[in-house]
C-alpha cells in the first residue's frame, strides 16, 4: 500500500481528524503523522530512536492502524487522552451521585473518549425518594441529560462521540429502556444494550415468569446487583412472562436496531480478571467490556497488508509477518498507556492497575477476497480463525516478554490468572512463559469497528464485517456542523478491477446484506475463541427480513457461545422517521447516524 492517502476521503479524514495543524515542522502528509505518533509513543522506551523506527515501519506500511485517539493526539501536546473508550464509575442513586457521574462523563468526552454506563443502579420510576420526598423518574429520564450533554459538546466537532447505556434484564424499568430509542430523535448519542443473564435465557426457553426487582434491604429475593460482587436483598416490583419481555426486546431491535443484548454472565465468566473485578458495561461499540473507570488502548492489524500475491493461485497470508507485527503492536500499545493522559485520576489508576490493550483486525473481508475465499464459507471462517489464532499467540508471547523486561501488571496473580478460562486455552508454551515471567497486560485483544481508520487505509472493509458496499457514498460531518458526501470504492475491489478489467466480479465480493444472518454469527463465532475482550460486529439483514427471525438471531448467538449480539435491519431508522412531513434529508441523516454506531454486536 502507498504511504500516502490515495482517496479523496482518506485525505479529508487525515486533514480533518488526524493531522496536527500546529505541528512544527508542518505535517504535509500522513507520513508526517506516522512519524509524530511513532516518536511520541516510543518516547517512554529506553532506546526511543530504535523503537521509533520500528513503530514507524509498521505504521507507514499500513500494517498497524492505531486507534483514532492515538493518531489524533500522540505527540501533539494537547490535553487529550489516547484511549478511545472508557466505562465510567457506578452511578450513585442520589441527585449528587447522578450529577457527579454526568460531570465525569462530560470531562471524559471532552478529552476525546467514548463512555459506557450501567444505569441499573438507579431506582425505578415511581419509587419514592426518601431524602427529598419526591418520586424517582427512573434511569431513562436521566439518560436524556447525558444525551443533551453529549450533543452540546459535539456540536462543532468533526468526530462523533458515542455512549453506551446498559440496564439489567431484571430491572423494573427494563421495558421503558427497551423502547427508549423507538422515537427517531431519542437518545441519538447512545447505543443501548440489555444485560441478559443465563437465568433469563432459561426462563425464556422454559416459558416461565420473570421477576423485575431492585435492591431493598427488606426485599424477599437475593441478586448479585450491578456495583456489587455480593448478593443483596431485592424487592420484587413486578412479575412478567419472560417470553413477552424477550419478544418486546426483539421487536424493538427489528424496528429501531436497538437495543442489543450482552450475555453478561458469559462476559464475566470469560474475563481474565474475574478474580478481582465484575463487569456490567462496555465501551460504546462493545468491543471492550470494562470495570468501573476502565479504559482500553486500541489498534488494528490491517489484514490486506499481509496478503502476498493477491487474486492469484499463489495468494497467501504471511503469518510470519503477521506474528512480527503483532509483537510490535503490543509493545506500541503498552507504551501508549504511559504516554496517554487520562481525564480522571481514577481512570489513570485503573489503566495502570490492569494495563488493558485491545489489538484487533480490520480488512478481514477484503483479505479473504484477495485470497479467493468467500466470507460466508467454511474456508473463509477457517482462514479468519487461523489469522486470529496467530495474533492471539503472538500477543500473549509479546506481553509475557514485556513482563520479563518491565514487570507484570499490578493486579496480576499467577495462580488465579492462569486458572481463567481464556488463559487456560492458550498453548502450553505461552502459559509456561506467563508462569515464569507474569504478563504485562491483563487483556490484549479486541476487534473494534475500525470505521475511520479503515477509510484512512484506502477504504478496506471495516473490522471483521463483510463488505458493506462495493461502491458507496460515505457521509462525514465537517467543522461547520454540516456534512460532506464521498463516493468510495472498496479497496480490494479497486485492486481487483485494475487486474481484471474484463472479468465478471467474483462471489468473493459478496456484500453484507446478501449474507445469511447465521453466516454473520458463524464468522463471529469462528474468531471469538481467540479474542479475550470482545468483537464489534452487527448482523446486517435486509429491509424485508422477517420480524420473528430476530429472536432466532439472538438465540443462535447465545447457543454459539457469543458474548452478545446486535441486529441492524436496513431502513429500520428511516422507517422510524416515516414519510410525509419528514424530509428526505432527515431520513438520510437517521440512516447515516445509525450506520455509524451500529457495528457493535460482540463475541
> How many angstroms separate the CA atoms of 44 and 50, rounded?
12
Q: Is 39 helix (H, G, I), strand (E, B) or coil?
A: helix
Check if 283 is active-site.
Answer: yes
Whole-number Cα distances in Å, 102 to 91, 147, 212, 480, 588: 9, 10, 26, 26, 30
Distance of alpha carbon 260 from alpha carbon 263, whole angstroms: 10
Distance (Å, whole) CA 288 – CA 51 = 27
Which residues are CB-contacts of 205 (< 8 A; sequence separation ≥ 6)? none
| Nearest partner of 59 among 397, 316, 336, judged by Cα | 336
Helix, strand, coil percentages for the chain (3-state, nearest 5): 45, 15, 40
> Catalytic one among 169, 234, 250, 285?
285
Q: Are 477 and 452 in contact (CB under 8 A)?
A: no
Q: Check the CA dihedral 59-64-67-70 and report its sign.
A: negative
Distance of CA 102 to the CA centre of its chain: 22
Residues 6+ apart with CB under 8 A from 383: 317, 368, 371, 373
Phi and psi dihedrals of 329, rounded to 5? -65, -40
Spatial CA neighbour of 193 closest among 103, 283, 277, 269: 283
CA–CA separation, 320 and 26 (whole Å) = 36
Out of 258, 287, 465, 589, the active site residue is: 287
> Environment class of residue 497 by beta-carbon count within 10 Å: exposed (0-12), middle (13-18) or buried (19+)?
middle
Distances (CA, A) of 82 to 77, 111, 117: 12, 9, 20
Q: What is the DSSP string of 536-552?
A: -B-EEE-TT--TTHHHH
Instruction: Give the pairing type, strands 190-196 and 163-168.
Output: parallel
Distance of alpha carbon 298 from alpha carbon 286, whole angstroms: 13
Question: What are the CA-CA distances from residue 283 to residues 104, 298, 481, 565 (Å)?
Answer: 15, 12, 25, 15
Residue of 271, 272, 283, 441 with catalytic role: 283
CA nearest neighbour of 340 among 65, 80, 33: 80
Q: Give the DSSP H/E element, type plus range, for residue 34.
A: helix 30-42
Under a CB-based contact definition with an 8 Å cutoff, are residues 87 and 348 in contact? no
User: Is 287 annotated as catalytic?
Assistant: yes
Q: What would the DSSP string read from start to end of 415-468?
A: HHHHTSHHHHTS-HHHHHHHHHH--S-S--B-B---HHHHHHTTSPPPTT--BS
Whether the Cβ atoms of residue 336 and residue 402 lie closer than 8 Å to each other: no
Show which residues are catalytic.
283, 285, 287
Amino acid at each position: 500500500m502507498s504511504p500516502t492517502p490515495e482517496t479523496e476521503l482518506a485525505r479529508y479524514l487525515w486533514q480533518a481528524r488526524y493531522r496536527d495543524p500546529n505541528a512544527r515542522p508542518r505535517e504535509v502528509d500522513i507520513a508526517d503523522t506516522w512519524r509524530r505518533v511513532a516518536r511520541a509513543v516510543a518516547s517512554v522506551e529506553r532506546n526511543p530512536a530504535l523503537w521509533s523506527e520500528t513503530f514507524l515501519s509498521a505504521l507507514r506500511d499500513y500494517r498497524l492502524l492505531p486507534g483514532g485517539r492515538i493518531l489524533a493526539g500522540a505527540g501533539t501536546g494537547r490535553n487529550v487522552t489516547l484511549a478511545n473508550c472508557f466505562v465510567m464509575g457506578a452511578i450513585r442513586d442520589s441527585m449528587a451521585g447522578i450529577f457527579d457521574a454526568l460531570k465525569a462523563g462530560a470531562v471524559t468526552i471532552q478529552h476525546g473518549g467514548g463512555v459506557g454506563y450501567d444505569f441499573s443502579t438507579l431506582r425505578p420510576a415511581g419509587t419514592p425518594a426518601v431524602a427529598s420526598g419526591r418520586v424517582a423518574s427512573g434511569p431513562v429520564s436521566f439518560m436524556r441529560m447525558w444525551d443533551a450533554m453529549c450533543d452540546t459538546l459535539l456540536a462543532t466537532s468533526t468526530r462523533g462521540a458515542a455512549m453506551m447505556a446498559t440496564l439489567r434484564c431484571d430491572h423494573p424499568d427494563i421495558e421503558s429502556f427497551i423502547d427508549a430509542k423507538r422515537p427517531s430523535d431519542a437518545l441519538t448519542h447512545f447505543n443501548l444494550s440489555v444485560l441478559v443473564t443465563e437465568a433469563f435465557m432459561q426462563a425464556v426457553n422454559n416459558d416461565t415468569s420473570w421477576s423485575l426487582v431492585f435492591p431493598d434491604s427488606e426485599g424477599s429475593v437475593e441478586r448479585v446487583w450491578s456495583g456489587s460482587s455480593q448478593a443483596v436483598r431485592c424487592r420484587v416490583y413486578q412479575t412478567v412472562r419472560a417470553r413477552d419481555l424477550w419478544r418486546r426486546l426483539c421487536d424493538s431491535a427489528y424496528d429501531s436496531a436497538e437495543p442489543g443484548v450482552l450475555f453478561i454472565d458469559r462476559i464475566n465468566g470469560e474475563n481474565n480478571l474475574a478474580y478481582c473485578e465484575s463487569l456490567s458495561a462496555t465501551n460504546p461499540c462493545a468491543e471492550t467490556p470494562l470495570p468501573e473507570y476502565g479504559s482500553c488502548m486500541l489498534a488494528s492489524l490491517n489484514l490486506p497488508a499481509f496478503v502476498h500475491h493477491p487474486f492469484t493461485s499463489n495468494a497467501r497470508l504471511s503469518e510470519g509477518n503477521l506474528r512480527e507485527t503483532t509483537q510490535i503492536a503490543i509493545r506500541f500499545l503498552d507504551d501508549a498507556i504511559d504516554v496517554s493522559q487520562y481525564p480522571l485520576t481514577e481512570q489513570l489508576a485503573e489503566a495502570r492497575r490492569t494495563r488493558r490493550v485491545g489489538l484487533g483486525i480490520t480488512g478481514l473481508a477484503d483479505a479473504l477476497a484477495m485470497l479467493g475465499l468467500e466470507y460466508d464459507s467454511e474456508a473463509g471462517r477457517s482462514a479468519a480463525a487461523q489469522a486470529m489464532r496467530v495474533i492471539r499467540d503472538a500477543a500473549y508471547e509479546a506481553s509475557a516478554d514485556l513482563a520479563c523486561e518491565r514487570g507484570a501488571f499490578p493486579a496480576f496473580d499467577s495462580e488465579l490468572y492462569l486458572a481463567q478460562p481464556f488463559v487456560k486455552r492458550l498453548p502450553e508454551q505461552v502459559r509456561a512463559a506467563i508462569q515464569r515471567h507474569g504478563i504485562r497486560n491483563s487483556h490484549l485483544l479486541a476487534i473494534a469497528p475500525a470505521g475511520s481508520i479503515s477509510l484512512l487505509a484506502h477504504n478496506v472493509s471495516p473490522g471483521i464485517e463483510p463488505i458493506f458496499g462495493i461502491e458507496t457514498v460515505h457521509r462525514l460531518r465537517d467543522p461547520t456542523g454540516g456534512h460532506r458526501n464521498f463516493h468510495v470504492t472498496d479497496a480490494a475491489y479497486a485492486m481487483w478491477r485494475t487486474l481484471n478489467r474484463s472479468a465478471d466480479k467474483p462471489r468473493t465480493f459478496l456484500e453484507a446484506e446478501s449474507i445469511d444472518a447465521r453466516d454473520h454469527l458463524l464468522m463471529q463465532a469462528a474468531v471469538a475463541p481467540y479474542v479475550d475482550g470482545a468483537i464489534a460486529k452487527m448482523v446486517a439483514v435486509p429491509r424485508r427480513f422477517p420480524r420473528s427471525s430476530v429472536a432466532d438471531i439472538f438465540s443462535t448467538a447465545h447457543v454459539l457461545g457469543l458474548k452478545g449480539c446486535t441486529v441492524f435491519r436496513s431502513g429500520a431508522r428511516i422507517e422510524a422517521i416515516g414519510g410525509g412531513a419528514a424530509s428526505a434529508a432527515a431520513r438520510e441523516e437517521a440512516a447515516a447516524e445509525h450506520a455509524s454506531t451500529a457495528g457493535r454486536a460482540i463475541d
